[in-house]
Amino acid sequence: MTSDVIKKLNKIYAEALEEVGKGKLYAQRRVELEIKYLGRKGKLNDVFKEMAVLSDSARKEVGVLANKLKSDLKLQLGQAQLQNKKSATTITFDETIPGARPKIGSLHPITQFLERIMAVFSTLGFEIVEDREVETTVYNFDKLNIAFDHPARDMWDTFYIKIKNKKEKIKNKEESSLVLRTHTSPVQIRAMEKRRPPVRLVVPGRVYRHEATDASHETNFYQLEGLVIDRNISVANMIYVLHTVLKQLFGDKVKIRIRPSFFPFVEPGHEVDMSCIICEQKGCSVCSGTGWLEMLGAGMVHPVVLKNMKVDPDKYSGFAFGMGVDRLIMLYHGINDIRLSYSGDLRFLKQF
């Protein structure tokens, strides 16, 4: 009896396989076959009904086999359908055709570069500070130790702004002149009116110089100012930070060179040069054959400026630095004319 049932089961299984193998198995046919063989009233279940007469052990043996055949058949059905799908979805197309892009715009190269610089400074724990563009001469010059009658004032060609209803407004003589800030340095003073050391801050912003424009000079341009004040801050710290930042921006290979220089708001004052990234110091037109590029003005915050910030120069010291961002992007992107920055020419802007 047992062998009869087993034979029957095997036979049904063979039939089923034969049917699965015939032609392409679409979803509907699969369902039909499932019902026919595996369904509640299907062929395999019919055989189960005959098992009632079998002994317990025989029933168990047949049961195991029947279940195995059932799951095998399910597998076969599944695979057959999959096989069918595979061949049906082979579609030919030209994979080398350009992608259809949604129209996107562009960010100004200065915006992008500033963002890169800000990211570097953020990792070094610098706070980003911004402030006003029209300044009094007090903040733009006097508080930065640039006295009115000092020849150093000629280092900045300045735009002056007419003050409306001057008489009504001027209460103390100190703030009698308005200028478009010639550097981001007044923000150092403004920032320190609301902060106490230790501070580490970086100031991006637009500045103005009254000069004739050409391929390397603009009246509007961007500067980046930095200020660090803490106990025991030294030139050695300044060199470390500035070298680190330039390496992050231009690659680990860059070297820096410190030259003594003069800015009234720092003492000692420095110019920081970076090894030419164009020629790698072999000498080229960008570095005028010197192998070095002028990158930053820097120095230790002048004690007078610290006092103007209400910081005790005997307890604290600090360094400050500034760089022209327009020049950096020119270098970085190989732009030969600074005026393109303000041209609004989309053929230029869309390249970045």
Partner 1 sequence: MKLSLNWLKDYINLNISPSELAEKLTLSGTAVESIEQCGNPYQQVIVGEIVEIKPHPKADRLKLVEVNDGARERTIVCGASNIMAGQKVPLALPGAELPSGVIIKTAEIRGQVSEGMLCSKKELGLGEDHTGIYILPNKARVGCPLAEVLGVGELDTVFDLDLTPNRGDCFSVRGIAREVAAITNTKIRKKLDKLQLKAKKNSLKGLLKIKVEDQKLCPKYCALIIRNVKISESPDWLKRRLEAVGIRPINNIVDITNYVMMDLGQPLHAFDLSKIKKNKQVSATIGVRPAITGESIITLDGQNRKLEPGMVVITDGVEPIAVAGVMGGASTEVGPDTKTIVLEAAIFEPSAIRLSYRNLGLRTEAAIRFEKGIDWSLPEQALAMAGQLLSELKAGTVSSPIIVQATPEKAPSAIKVRVDYLNRLLGTDFSREQISRSLARLDIKSSPAKSDKGSVLDVVPPSWRKDLTIAADIAEEIGRLHDYNKIIPLPICAEVCQPAANQPYQQKYEAKQILKFIGYSEIYTYSFYGEDEASFLPDVGHLEVLNPISPAQKYLRYSLLPLILRKASKNLRQLESIKIFELGTIFKDARDAILPREETYLAGAVADKTKDIKTLFRRLKGDLEILFDEFGVKQISYEKTDNYVDLMIGNNWLGQIKILGEREKVIFKIKQDMLLFNLNFGIISSLIDEQKKYTVLPAYPSVTRDLSFLVPEDLKYKDLIKSILTGATSISHVDLVDEYYLPDRSRSLTLRFIYQSQSQTLQGEEVDKIEKSIIANLVNKWGVKMRNA
The residues annotated as belonging to the active site are 156, 183, 209, 223, 266, 320
Segment near partner 1 (CB under 8 A), from 9-17, 43-51, 53-61, 268-276?
268-276
Our finding on whether 332 is near partner 1 (CB under 8 A) is no
Q: Write phi, then psi, for 157 (nearest 5 degrees).
A: -85, 120
Segment near partner 1 (CB under 8 A), from 11-19, 25-33, 46-54, 193-201?
193-201
Considering only residues 50 through 89, tell me which ones interact with partner 1, judged by CB under 8 A.
none
Nearer to partner 1 (CB atom), residue 16 or residue 191: 191
Q: Which of 23, 98, 125, 334 binds partner 1 (CB under 8 A)?
A: 125
CB 335 to partner 1: min, Å:
13
Q: From the CB of residue 49, how many other CB atoms can be counted at a distance below 10 Å? A: 8
Nearer to partner 1 (CB atom), residue 81 or residue 184: 184
Segment near partner 1 (CB under 8 A), from 20-28, 54-62, 73-81, 118-126?
118-126
Full 3-state SS string of 180-230? ECCCCCHHHHHHHCCCCCCEEEEEEEEEECCCCCECCECCEEEEEEEEEEE
Q: How many residues bind partner 1 (CB under 8 A)?
A: 90
| Cβ contact 225:290 at 8 Å | no
Segment near partner 1 (CB under 8 A), from 12-20, 61-69, 84-92, 120-128?
120-128
Q: Which of 8, 108, 190, 247 binds partner 1 (CB under 8 A)?
A: 108
Our finding on whether 129 is near partner 1 (CB under 8 A) is yes
Residue 200 β-bridge partners: 228
Considering only residues 291 through 310, tell me which ones interact with partner 1, judged by CB under 8 A.
300, 302-303
Our finding on whether 110 is near partner 1 (CB under 8 A) is yes
> To which H or E segment does residue 256 belong?
strand 256-261
Q: Is residue 254 classed as helix, strand or coil in its secondary structure?
A: coil
Our finding on whether 334 is near partner 1 (CB under 8 A) is no
Our finding on whether 268 is near partner 1 (CB under 8 A) is yes
> To which H or E segment does residue 178 belong?
strand 178-180
User: Residue 1: CB partners within 8 Å, gap ≥ 6?
Assistant: 53, 54, 58
Cα–Cα distance, 272 to 319 (Å, whole number): 13
Our finding on whether 253 is near partner 1 (CB under 8 A) is no
Cα–Cα distance, 291 to 207 (Å, whole number): 28
| Cβ contact 179:219 at 8 Å | no
Eight-class DSSP state of 59: H
Our finding on whether 161 is near partner 1 (CB under 8 A) is yes
Our finding on whether 99 is near partner 1 (CB under 8 A) is no
